[in-house]
Amino acid sequence: MGAPMGVPPELLRRVPLLAGLEEDELTALAGRFTERVYDQGAPVVSRGSSGSGFFILAEGEAVVRKGGRAVGRLRKHDFFGEVALIDGGRRTADITAETNMRCWGISQREFRAFVKRHPEVAWSLLEVLAARLRAAEAPDSGRAPAAGRRPWRRG
């Protein structure tokens, strides 16, 4: 699948689901990512497949398709699969490497092991998911609010 790479923690900070984590938590999580390389035209994930993990693009581009129709593009620093880290649900779209592509990925199993060793991370994730749910249910919802710092301190 790839060698341990250690994604730069500042890239993880761009992910709303992880933005509220402390620096030491991000650094510990970053070391669990592996580098993955896809050739142009290669499938990255397929609709209906199990949520195999979370990815951040380092180089290249990918196209997102639903029902065979292009619905989006992913570029450097874009990410996908963050909800699959939590529920391992099935993929809702096909993602194909549009160019040669390099990304960092983490499996749900690896992420779960991290959260078990850092249980305080779970609370931050719950806050972000709750904010997304509220935003999705709001009448004029456009986007979920960005995750901020934790409103509480560890003792």
Chain mean position to CA 117 = 19
The torsion angles phi and psi of 134, rounded to 5 degrees, stand at: -60, -45
Q: What is the pLDDT of residues 53-86, one digit of tens each?
A: 888 899 999 999 998 899 999 999 888 887 777 7
Q: What is the pLDDT of residues 79-115, one digit of tens each?
A: 888 777 777 777 788 999 999 999 999 988 898 898 8
pLDDT category, 143, cuts 50, 70, 90? Answer: very low
Could you tell me the domains of the chain?
9-136 (2.60.120.10)
Q: What is the pLDDT of residues 9-30, one digit of tens each?
A: 888 888 777 777 889 888 989 9
pTM value > 0.85: no
What confidence score (pLDDT) does residue 71 get? 92
> Which position has the higher pLDDT, 149 or 116?
116
Distance CA 153, CA 113 (A): 23
Tell me how far CA of residue 139 lies from CA of 67, 129, 143, in angstroms: 28, 18, 12
- Tell which residue, 148, 90, 81, 133, has the closest CA to residue 110: 81
Distance CA 101, CA 52 (A): 18
